[in-house]
A and B are shown apart, each in its own frame.
Chain A
Amino acid sequence: DIQMTQSPSSLSASVGDRVTITCRASQSIANYLNWYQQKPGKAPRRLMFAASGLQSGVPSRFSGSGSGTDFTLTISSLRPEDSATYFCQQSYSMPPTFGQGTKVEIK
């Protein structure tokens, strides 16, 4: 299985800050990388697909980049409603695997 490793595991930032989350795959996955946001008690929600594709309805302050093994999710200007846990997931090979999550808190 392809291992997905996210960093940091958690972060605390202020409203308006630029936030970057990193995801590293244990082998090359081209651009088959998706990002999700999960709030407590809710199912995850897809934010990005194919590394940099913005899911319909997701604010443009979210962006993604990367290819191969290294990927980033960036929130350009953090808002209170962005407090959540973020997961990356590879869809390059079976079985699909997820990162362990990055919890974003608002200072």
Chain B
Amino acid sequence: QVQLQESGPGLVKPSETLSLTCSVSGASISSYYWSWIRQSPAKGLEWIGYIHSRGSNNYNPSLKSRVTISLDTSNNLFSLKLTSVTAADTAIYYCATYDNSGVNYWGQGALVTVSS
């Protein structure tokens, strides 16, 4: 059973960088496409992007200029960085697996608030 757990600051100042980590257990980081998805009242569920250990990644064009998703195969985790955040980036951030059947495994979610 794949289990995912997000961690990171719950409060980020405007214009700074949001950084989250997802710890993976029950599966090798070399499997699956590892994704980030966020949810806010304003935008609903929004897919941020994915990365695969073979080196492929794909980002939502709406966020592409600000997003980096990376893998840490040594520690079986992956990370999200979102730069130049504004209040519009306030959301619950989920790490997840993704394939063309959608999202099978989700983390519990991490609320990130952008505020000074």
Contact = CB atoms under 8 A, between A and B. Distances in A.
Interface residues of A, number: 24
Interface of A: prevailing SS? loop
A101 to B, nearest CB: 7
A91 interface: yes
Interface in A25-39: 32, 34, 36
Contacts of A101: 44-45
Given A43-B94, A43-B109, A89 B45 contact: yes
Interface residues of B, number: 20
Interface stretch (B7-15, B17-25, B71-79, B97-105): B97-105
Q: Which residue among A91, A94, A95, A99 has the maximum number of chain B CB atoms within 10 Å of its CB?
A: A95
B45 A95 contact: no
Nearest to B100: A91
B61 A95 contact: yes
20 contacts: A1-B61, A34-B101, A34-B102, A34-B103, A36-B103, A42-B108, A43-B94, A43-B106, A43-B107, A44-B45, A44-B106, A45-B106, A55-B104, A87-B44, A89-B103, A91-B99, A91-B100, A95-B60, A96-B47, A101-B44
